[in-house]
Amino acid sequence: MVISHKGKMFPLGSTVSDAGVNFAVYAPNADKVCLCLFDGFGRCERDRIDMYSHEGGVWSVFVDSLKEGALYGYRADGPYSLSDGHFFNFNKLLLDPYAKDFSGEFTWSERHYCHLPVGEFNTLDNAIDMPKSKVVKAQLYTGTKPNIAWCDTFIYECHVKGATQLHPEIEKNQVGKFSALVQPAFLQHLKSLGVTAIELLPIHAFVSEQFLTTKGLQNYWGYNTLSFFVPHKAYCINGDINEFTTMVRQFHEHDIEVIIDVVYNHTAESGIDGPMLSFKGLNNNGYYRTLNSSESTYINDTGCGNTVNIDDPITLKLIMDSLRYWVEVMGVDGFRFDLATILGRTSEGFTSRHSFFQAILQDPILSSVKLIAEPWDVGPGGYQLGAFPPPWREWNDKYRDVVRRFWRGDGGTLPELAKRIHGSNDLFEHNQRGPLNSINFLTSHDGYSLADWTSFEHKHNEANGENNRDGHSENYSFNCGVEGATNNSEVNNLRIKMQLNALVTLFLSKGVPMIAAGTELNHSQLGNNNAYCQDNEVNWLDWSGQNMTHSLSQSISDLIKLRKQLSVFQHPFFVHADDERFSVEWLNKKMLPMSESDWHDEENKTLMYILADKLKSKAVMVILNADTEHLTISLPTSPFSSSWECMFTSEYAFDAKTLPISFCLTGQSAWVLVSNLEENTND
C-alpha cells in the first residue's frame, strides 16, 4: 500500500529524501492532477495517486519510502476547449517538465494526439508509447573548470554521434557516444588542433518528427527537444546519464570547455495538431505563445509549430532552472542558444531588456558562463545581430557571408570585409561591447561544409525527401570548375587552397574563431546544405582515405598557434586611431593607405592590413588576394625592419621563410607576415 501526503510545492519536479520522494508540478488550470507510478520496466501503471492543490497552481504529493530510480508520469484533468487553449486530457501520460532522467523509448502513434481530427477528443491512452520520468538524486559537479578567457577561446562545433561514429581507434560500443569524445584518439585530435571549447549540437533529450520517421529519416541534429534536463539517452552506452558528467570532467582535465547547444525556443510538441507529451497537457497557454482568436492559434516564430512563451514567469523559471542545472550539476561551461531572438521577445517584439536577459545578468551562476546567441528567428523583426546585451556573444553570419563572397571573387566586398576582420565594431561597439563579442565562423552544422563550399555551386538535398526545395539556395559558394567530387588533382588542390585562404582570414580576424567539426578533414556532405535528417555518412566524419590525405589539421593548428602569439588578438577592444598601443593600417597594392576610390573599386579584390603592437615592437601583415591574377608588390620597410618573415601562406609553391622586399603575390592566395618594428615607441 502506497502511503502519501500533501508534500511541498517547491522545488518543482521530484526530490529525494531519506523518507521518500516529493513530487511537485505546475498546472494552474487543472481540476485534478494524478501522479502515476510504474513498475521497474515502465510497462505497468501500478499506482495512481491524487495530488494536492496549492496556491499559484502548483500540485504536490509526498510518497513515503519511495526510492531513487522510481518511474512515474502525470495525468492532468480539466477543461478541454480549443477556443480557450485548454487541452487537458486525462488519457495522456505526461512527462515531468523537471524530470532529470527517463526510462524507456518514445514511439510515435495516434495515441499521443489530444484530438483526432481537430476538435475530436482522443480517448486513447498513450502510456505504452511514452518514456517514463525517473526519480534522480542530483549531485553537484565537483570537477575543476578551465575558465578560459574569450580572447584565448577556439570553438569546435561538434555532433556527438557524427564526430566518432566512424573513428577506427574507438571501441565499437563507444562510437557515437558521450564517452567516445574523451577517448585518447579524439581528445588528442582536439588538443593538436588547439581547440579550447567543444560546442556540442543539442544533447537535451529529443525525438524525431513524425514526418521524418514516416520517410525512414531521423532528426540527426537534435533540434526537437523533449526535455530541458535529460541528456539524450542514445548518446549514453547503458542509458546512464552520468556518462555525460564523466565526459565533461575528462574534457576539463584536458583544459577543454564544454558548451552545449540548447533549444529553449520550441519543443517537440509542435503545433495545435501536434502530440501531447508534457507542457501542452499541463499549462498550454503558459508554456506556448498563442494568438487571441476564436481558436487557439500557436505563434510560430520558430518555424517548428510552436514558440515557447518565456514571458510567462513559470516558463522563465523553468528555463533558468534548466540552465543552472546544466552548469551546477552537469558541469558545462556555457551555452549556444538556438534561435535566441525568441528569448528576447515580448508581445511587442524583441527587446534587449527582456526579463530573460535581466535574469541571466543578475544570476551569480549564469552571468559568469559563456553565453552565445544565434541572433535570429523566423518571426517579424527576427534578425537581431548586434542587438544582444553584454555579456552575450553572437554568431556573426555577416562575417561568414562576406568572407565567402570575397574568396568567391565577388566585387565590391572590401569595405564590409574590413569591418568584419576588424571585429565588426559597427555591430557591437554601440552598446559597449568589443570584437570578442563576435563569434566568427565560415561554416557551421547548418549549411555547406567548408569542403562543399569550394565544391558545389548548387545545393543537392534530394536525400532529404523534399525534392531539393529545403535549404538555402544562395550559399556564396563555387565549385572550382567541377560540380562535386572529382579526381582532377588541379581542381582538388585549388579547393584545398581556397579553404586555406578562408581559414587564414578566420584566424587573423578580430573576434572568437569557430570551426565546424570535419573542416580539418575536408569533410563533404555531398552538397547537402540542410543535412539535419541524415544520420549516415553524409554527416559522420570519415577518418580515413582521401579526407586524411587532404587534411587541413596541421594548417589549422599552425594558424591558431600563430594567432596566440599575436597580442592584438588578446586585446578586448576595437583598435582605433587614438589607441596608444595598437594600430591597424589598411594598404592598397602600392602599399599606400587605402583611398576612398580603392575601397569602392569593384575590381579591387586584394586586401592587405598591418596590425602593430608598439609596446612589443611587433607587427603582423596579412595579405588576402582573391584576384586570379598574379601581382608584384613591394613590402613596406618603414617603420619596419628591412625584412618580413612569412609565417603562413596558402601558396603551395612557396617555401622561403624570409621574403624579399619585392615579391610576386600569386593569385587566390593568403599570406601572414611578421616583422619587428625598428624601435620601441614607448622607450
Write the DSSP assignment of 72-86 as a string of letters: EEEEEE--EETTTTE
**Count of CB atoms within 10 A of residue 132's CB?**
25
Q: Decide which of 116, 134, 152 is a domain's last residue.
A: 134
Q: Is 482 helix (H, G, I), strand (E, B) or coil?
A: coil
Query: What stretches of 147-183 show up as alpha helix (H) in DSSP?
Result: 160-164
- For 490, residues 6+ apart whose C-beta sits below 8 A from its C-beta are none
Write the CA distances from 488 to 239, 420, 453, 528, integer angstroms. 46, 34, 17, 22
pLDDT, residue 683, reads 39
Rounded-to-integer distance, Cα 248 and Cα 241, Å: 12
Give domain status of residue 629, yes or no: yes
Rounded-to-integer distance, Cα 443 and Cα 188, Å: 23
Q: Confirm whether pTM is higher than 0.95.
A: yes
Give domain status of residue 48, yes or no: yes
pLDDT, residue 294, reads 60
Residue tagged active-site, from 243, 374, 397, 452: 374
Q: Left (φ > 0), alpha (ψ -120 to 50) or beta: where does 217 sit?
A: beta
- For 502, residues 6+ apart whose C-beta sits below 8 A from its C-beta are 403, 404, 407, 442, 450, 453
Give domain status of residue 275, yes or no: no
Q: Decide which of 112, 134, 156 is a domain's last residue.
A: 134
Q: Decide which of 134, 161, 189 is a domain's last residue.
A: 134
Domain that holds residue 645: 574-676
Q: How many domains does the chain have?
A: 2
Give yes or no: 374 in active site.
yes
pLDDT, residue 118, reads 63
Question: Residue 591 in contact with residue 636, Cβ under 8 Å?
Answer: yes
Grid cell, residue 414, equals 572590401
Give domain status of residue 152, yes or no: no
Q: What is the CATH number of the domain that holds 73?
A: 2.60.40.10
Give domain status of residue 12, yes or no: yes
Write the CA distances from 300 to 268, 312, 339, 376, 606, integer angstroms. 13, 17, 12, 14, 44
Average pLDDT, the chain: 95
Give domain status of residue 554, yes or no: no
> Across 347-465, where does the E strand assignment appear?
349-350, 370-373, 393-395, 438-441
pLDDT, residue 13, reads 98
The rounded Cα 637 to chain-centroid distance in angstroms is: 44
Give yes or no: 338 in active site.
yes
pLDDT, residue 608, reads 97
Q: Is 521 helix (H, G, I), strand (E, B) or coil?
A: helix
pLDDT, residue 682, reads 44
Q: What is the pLDDT of residues 355-402, one digit of tens each?
A: 999 999 999 999 999 999 999 999 999 999 999 999 999 999 999 999
User: 377: closest CA among 337, 410, 430?
Assistant: 337
> Across 99-153, where does the E strand assignment appear?
102-103, 132-134
CB burial class (10 A; 0-12, 13-18, 19+) of residue 637? Answer: middle
Q: What is the pLDDT of residues 24-62, one digit of tens each?
A: 999 999 999 999 999 999 999 999 999 999 999 999 999
Residue tagged active-site, from 257, 338, 394, 397: 338
Q: What is the CATH number of the domain that holds 590?
A: 2.60.40.1180
Point out the residues of the chain with pLDDT beneath 70.
118-119, 293-295, 545-550, 679-683
Grid cell, residue 592, equals 599606400
Question: Residue 321 in contact with residue 246, Cβ under 8 Å?
Answer: no
User: 153: closest CA among 189, 191, 197?
Assistant: 197
Amino acid at 31: D
Give domain status of residue 656, yes or no: yes
Grid cell, residue 151, equals 580572447
Question: Residue 677 in contact with residue 640, Cβ under 8 Å?
Answer: yes
Give domain status of residue 401, yes or no: no
